[in-house]
Structures are given as C-alpha cells and as structure tokens.
Chain A
Amino acid sequence: MEWYEALALLLGTIIFLMAIGMPVALAFLAANIIGAWVFMGGERGVAQLLNNGLGALTKYALVPIPLFLLMGEIFFHTGLGGRMFNAIDKLLGRLPGRLSYVTVLGGTAFSTLSGSSMGSTALLGSLMVPEMSRRGYQSHMSIGPILGTGGLAIIIPPSALAVLLATLAQIDVAALLIAGVVPGLILASFYIATIWLQTRMNPDAAPAYDVEPMSLGRKLGLLVTEVVPMVGVMVVIIVLMIRGFVTPSEAAAFGALGVLILAALFRCLTWESMRKSVVGALRVTLMAYLIVFGSATFSQLLAFSGASRGLVNWATSFDLAPLAMLGVMFAVLLLLGMFMEQISIMLLTVPIFFPLANTLGFDPIWFGLIMLLSLEISFTTPPFGLLLFVMKGVAPPGTTMREIYTSAFPFIGCSLLLVALLVAFPQLALWLPSL
C-alpha cells in the first residue's frame, strides 16, 4: 500500500467515526483495530495494539495530570476558589473581564511550574471555568484564555518537551529553554490584548457589576487573607522545584497537598468536598487517558504503516525557497499534530527537518522554537486537539464542542501571529540566549 493510501485509510476512518458521533476514544480504538488488521498482519496485530496502549499509558510523565486536576477540583469544591475570586473581584474593581486577565496572568505564572500543557489546561480549567461561568462569564472568556495559556507551559521553561526536542535534535538545551521566555511573554501579552478587544466588542461577554468602593486598608486585608495563601502555595512549590526538592513531574502532588492543607486551615475541608473532588478529577482523567490509550497507538500505526513518514518525505521533496520550505514544514507539523501525539511527531520529523533546516540556513534554536510552537498550536486545533477534550471535560455541563472550538480560534490566531513575528524578527527568540 502506498503511503497516501495508508494515510487516507487511517485518517478517513477516524474522521468518519468521529463525525457520526462515536466517542473519541472509541473512534481511535476502532481505527486502530482496522489499522492493526491491515498493517500488522491480522488479529495478532490487535493484541499488539493493546500492548502498545499499555506501554503508552504506564508512563510517569502522565502522573501529574490527574493530580493537577485534583488540585483544581479541591480548590473549587472546598470553596477556596470562590473566596479567592470574590476577593479578586473586589480588588480589581470595575475592570471588565478581570477574571480572564487573572487567568492569563495566573496561567503564565503557572507555566513556570508545569512542563505539560495537558496538566496546565487541566489545572486552570478545573480551577477557573466552573467559577467563572457561575459568575456570568460567557464560556469563551474562560475557555479561550485557558486553552491559550495551556500551550505556554511547553514554551516557558521548564518544559519536558523542549528538553526532549533539544536532545533529539542535538542542539543546546539551555539555549532552547531560554529562547522560549521572551516569545512566551509576548504571547501572554497578545492574549491580554485579545481579551481586552473581546470585552470592548461585546460588553456582555463578561459580567459588568458594580463593586462597592473600599478603603486601601480593607483591600490589603482581603489580599492577605484571601489571595496570598493560595498564591503562596504556588510560590512555595516553585521554590521547592528550583531548589531541587521536587522534579516538575512531582510538583503536582505537592500542589494538591498544599491546597488540602490550606482547605484544612480555612476549615472548609469536608468528606463531601473531598469525594466530589476525586470524582471530578477522575472523570476528566479517565476520559482523557482512554483517548491517550487510543491515540498513542494511532500515532504508532501512522508511523508503522509508513503513512506519516511518506507525507514528511513527500512534503520536503520539493525544491522551494527557504521561507516557503518553512511554511511546508510548519503545515506538516500542524497536520500531523491534529492526529498524532507530540513525542511521536518529534521522533519522526526531527531527523528529517533539522538537517533540512540546516541546509536552508535556519538557526537551529530558532527553528526548534518554531517547532515547539507548532506542536503547541496543534494541541488546541479543532477537531482533535487533546486539550479541547480536556477542556470539554472540565467545562460545565451544557458547554458544546462548538463553543470550545470557537473559543480556541482567537488564541490560535495569537500563536500564528507570534510565529509570523519570529520569522520577521528572529532576535525575539535569539537575543536572550545570546547574552
């Protein structure tokens, strides 16, 4: 079978099954059964598929996600979240969309703690979305910024994905990590501008209620009693991580522990809130991990059948100008990113793209950062970006997939704008590492 036939068979199956409403995880499993039957020699291929799924799921790198979810759920169900957001509402006065800004700022800060966009989206989603919709924010004002900042986690150090990319591509790890700092901050500022535009264009997007004026002393009091403790938990964990007490993967467990301790101190920890938190975290984890189970094997089938390798080789076989070639590579990454898991994409494309980038005269650090950005974008690109499903899991009942898709678009636009900026001004990425 030619690579494009294999590609058409695998992608066609998955798109068809999802379109008729098969649960996403089951659609992956069904496509895997068909793919294993065709490419792995019949029924024994299906047993191999289960083995592969087992391998993909029992990885320590996946441990933080349920724990970040647990942290967010405890925060919400114990009422700590409500208290903190009440305080922020009062402190920020009448600024429209204030919690959306808080999301971006918090998400950017949180990116320095987390190296995983799924973990980041899980935490912010479970932390912010229920509370914001309770306060009358339209869903795109909460979902959009979270999907956006989720991706910051892999650009702003620490980032496990950046370390892996640098190792595979044999480029300077520290330089790639540092190169992400300035673009990450620029991206965060684009998000802020987007929120400002959205509240200007549609004043109903965020609740506009009056806040009673408050004395500076009362504001300070609120800040210290309601905001500082929670922010303190985050700060403590970041410090523990920098001091080498915990690795980035282990930080989530201490985050959850920190919120538990906080809830106990504030006397709002009950068995009922604990049960609800575990059930909430469990629901989203199960949904996401069965998709991981299916999609990891789907990635492997795309590679094993020669479909993705064929696509990459074909796309890079044209003799184009450097900029056009960059566009082609970017498009391939986005396309693969819609269906494949990020590490598999890197394993597959790095050996082909980096030598090519080298002959085209691209700076490898700069190119590595563009690659990370494309992976980040594809993680939130409809219809299959995994973060979208995680978001669906944490969003309040009744949130439609379309609402999630349309919320994501403006923030994907920001990332694309950043890529364009990086192409025009490579120094945005390269200046900091050169110091």
Chain B
Amino acid sequence: EDTLSAVHAFPETLIYTKSFLSFVDKVNAAGEGVVRIDVRGGPEAIGMFQQPDAVRDGIVDMVYTPGSFYAGVLPEKDALVASNLTAVETRENGGIALIDQVHQEKMGVKYLGWFDSGVCYNLWTRNEPTFDANGNLEVEGLKLRGNAVYNAFFTNYLGAQVIDLPTGEVYSALQRGVVDATGWTQIGLIDLKWNEFLNYRIEPCFFSTDLGVIINLDKWNSLSDESKKVLQDVAIQHEKDSVAALRAKRDEDFAALEAAGMKVVSLEGEAKANYLAAAREKTWERMKSVMAEQPGGTGNYDKLIELFYDLDAAK
C-alpha cells in the first residue's frame, strides 16, 4: 500500500479545507489497500507559506494550497487567478495538463488537480458604492483592504488606496472603520463574520480561486500505476464535484446574505467590460513580467491565456 502524508493551507473549519478532506476520504475509500492519504493537519503543522517548500523538499508528500502561496516560483498560477473558466473546461482543453507540466519543470511537483474552482471574487463595501458619469466605480474615499493577490488590479487599475491587512485583523479593522471595503471570494464572508459590517456586493465578480493539490514529484514517480490511477481519477472527479458543491454553497450564502440585508449593485455595459478587462490584463501583465525573468521565459504565455480565459464569455 502506498501512503502519502498531506497538509492543507487553511484551518480545518474553512469550507475549502472541508472540500479537500472530502477528497481525501474519497481516495481512501476508492484506494483501499492500494493508496492512502494521511492528513497531518493544517497551518498548525506546517506554516501556510512554508507548505509549498515542504512538498518541494519532500518533508510532506502532498499539499493543498492556493498557487498564490508559491507565486515567486510559479508566476503561471496567475493564469488560474485571472481565469473565467473552471477546472472542468480546462481539464478538457489541456489547460491543467500544461499547468501540471510547468509545475513539474519549475517546482518538481505533480499538479494533481484544481479544486474548488468556479468561485470568483467580489468587492464588498460598507457604504453604497457610487459611479461616475460613465458608469465606472468611484474608488476615491474608499478605504479598501487589499493583499498580494489582487493589488495588481486594485492599485494599478482602480487606483485605490489599498490597506494591507492580515485576514485576522480585518474584522476589528472593519469594526473601527480602518477599512470600509474589501475583496473576498463569493463564499466565506459569513464564516468570517465580515457581513456584520459590509452591506453591498459589487458585481460583476472577477478572478477565480486557485486552490490545487500538489505532490512531490519523486514521491509521485515512486507510486504504483494503480495508486496513480486512483489519485488521478478521484481528483478529476473531485474537480467536477467541488465546482457543483461550491456553486450550491454560493447560492446558499448569497440567499442568507440577501435575507440579512446585503444589497447588490452592478456595473453595466462598457464600464463592466473595462472592469473585467482590467482585472485580467493587470494580472496577466504581472504574470508575464515575472515569467520573463525565469528560465523558459514567456514561451507558454499565449497558450496559458488561450486555455484559461474565454474572451467571448466575458462580453
């Protein structure tokens, strides 16, 4: 029997971790006697930003983490961040295969699957957002909380005054009015209790979560073909299942938020198109500039964009 040790980036109580743990259960059921995943814990076992190095060096065999946590090694993760597709389409069109190949070359890890995709980000604000004559969002006066993932968009396009705060400090910062707006995924706001202070959700949503399972390559190569098949098959199934499960969870969250008074405002027409275009293009720019400094250069750039973004759908 093959055994893989695993850690996850986020606390056990978070929805994304629960999704990973259900993947583990499925592998352990389907792979009985063949392959088993032994979960050692979350950030209490290995710090969340140290996990990518830990799997690379073989301290642990498998990690469930956002690609953004190893953005320095693998700028290509921004293709997933900016994507408007899910794992289902990109598995089909070869996008995930390309991402896997890049992971093997640049990091020495196997990219097993892109889980919990199809969840995007919104801007959430305390006060009613205002729009200029052309329908663009006015960010002046917004005290916007940002972080490394979306600063390329917030700062370079929106020109917002971004306040970098760790997630743990956002609650009290919202409470005291240090910030009055933040980006966050469509789900999870209720779990963090930020909805106590935020009253507006701005549509359209942008970006995508980039959570994936990576496995140390030596470990992967040492597995029996049977084990590999179980892991890969269950992962592909979970890519599909998690999209559906999180969409259901999103609808549930949105309904609960709406019932509690959350209002939705939306950009329209050209303003909306510009907003979405900026979100993806500023992120792609960042990806390209970091790729250019690495071995291999920007060779995969066009291919990645073609496979991970559906321009027609954005119109």
Contacts and interface: CB of A to CB of B under 8 A. Distances in A.
The answer to whether A and B interact is: yes
Contacts of B193: 166-167, 172-173
Nearest to B38: A306
Contact of B13 (A45, A248, A350): A350
10 closest A-B pairs by beta carbon, nearest first, are A244-B177, A55-B47, A244-B176, A347-B44, A304-B45, A344-B44, A303-B45, A351-B12, A303-B44, A40-B59
- Interface extent on A, as a size class? 35 or more
B215 to A, nearest CB: 15
Interface of B: 7, 11-13, 40-50, 53-54, 57-60, 165-166, 168-169, 171-173, 176-178, 191-193, 196
Contacts of B58: 41, 44
A61 B166 contact: yes
B167 to A, nearest CB: 9
Contacts of B43: 347
Interface stretch (A72-80, A89-97, A156-164, A413-421): A156-164
Judged by DSSP, the binding face of B is loop
Given A40-B59, A300-B47, A173 B171 contact: yes
A398 B155 CA distance: 54
Contact of B173 (A40, A168, A247): A247
Contacts of A174: 196
Judged by DSSP, the binding face of A is helix
A242 B46 CA distance: 35
25 contacts: A44-B58, A51-B50, A55-B47, A55-B50, A61-B168, A61-B169, A160-B168, A167-B192, A173-B193, A241-B176, A242-B176, A243-B176, A244-B178, A246-B178, A247-B172, A247-B173, A299-B44, A300-B44, A303-B40, A304-B7, A304-B40, A309-B41, A347-B43, A348-B41, A350-B12
Nearest to B167: A167
Given A45-B59, A55-B50, A167-B193, 12 more contacts: A48-B46, A52-B46, A55-B47, A160-B168, A163-B172, A167-B168, A173-B171, A247-B172, A247-B173, A304-B46, A306-B40, A344-B44
Interface in A281-326: 296, 299-300, 303-304, 306, 309
Interface of A: 40-41, 44-45, 47-48, 51-52, 54-56, 59-61, 115, 158, 160, 163-164, 166-170, 172-174, 241-244, 246-249, 296, 299-300, 303-304, 306, 309, 343-344, 347-348, 350-351
A304 B41 CA distance: 7
Nearest to A160: B168
Contact of B166 (A44, A60, A158, A168): A60
A135 B177 CA distance: 44
A117 B141 CA distance: 35
B47 A351 contact: no
